[in-house]
Structure 1
């Protein structure tokens, strides 16, 4: 389903640990405004925390764009994380259940993907990483 953005996305640099905290706070605020259940709010904030931390640690910083969205049936929250870091050399391995580098929440990308309704990743060695996730209200 096509998601239509409600207004301009909010852009948040992710350059320090404090920015990861700010990202979580912004995502929680948007999740409440999109009327996500408490469980879905928690899932989205957890996914955002993992992706923001990955952006900082592995991507050498970047940014998050966050917006409420809607489609024909639901409201939701779309998050876009981008960095210009080294990219992911082995995406298949990185998406394997249980794979973690050891410094994140332990979810890995596959765990993060399970927490959201839509997950898209674009990465290549030397080209950075871009991840878009959406969590829809039920």
Structure 2
């Protein structure tokens, strides 16, 4: 399992992680549409790290279930204030920073697997996975 962790503190860090995710998705032969979904996920989660927690870490991992299936997992972790109401945060249009409120709900829709864990005062971890089935 190939895995790379990025410290996300500023805007330039976002694009380093994005470049790595794009490279992996291309190497794994994801469709153009799924590559774009992966890129959006990386952008949204990395920006959330900066915007809501003052920074954190993002790990991008290549996953394999069998010889025919590959996936990319994006995990964003922070030690920020946490999310007091996850269900509310996952509603379209909800935002604490006067944005469109499409970030987390959008990531959940774009990816195949989505999990969020948050403890107020301790931080948040979001994990999103996109799978690709290899054709013979």
* TM-score, structure 1 as length reference: 0.88
Hey, what's the Cα distance between the residues in 2 that align with 1:43 and 1:70? 19
Q: 1:114 aligns with which of 102, 106, 109?
A: 109
1:1-138 → structure 2 map (5 Å cutoff)? 6-7=1-2, 9-72=3-66, 73-102=68-97, 106-138=101-133
Q: Secondary structure at the match of 1:89?
A: coil
Unaligned runs of 5+ in 2: none
Moved over 6 A (4+): none
d(CA) in 2 for partners of 1:22 and 1:105? 25
> Any stretches of 5+ residues in structure 1 without a counterpart?
1-5
> Which residue in the other structure is 1:3 paired with?
none
Tell which deviates more after alignment, 29-38 or 49-58: 29-38
SS at match of 2:38: helix
- For the aligned residue pairs, the C-alpha RMSD in angstroms reads 1.6
Cα distance change on mapping 1:27 and 1:111 into 2, 3 Å: same
Query: Are the aligned partners of 2:63 and 2:72 in contact in 1 as well (CA < 8 Å)?
Result: yes
Q: Secondary structure at the match of 1:71?
A: strand
2:94 and 2:100 in contact (8 A); partners too? no
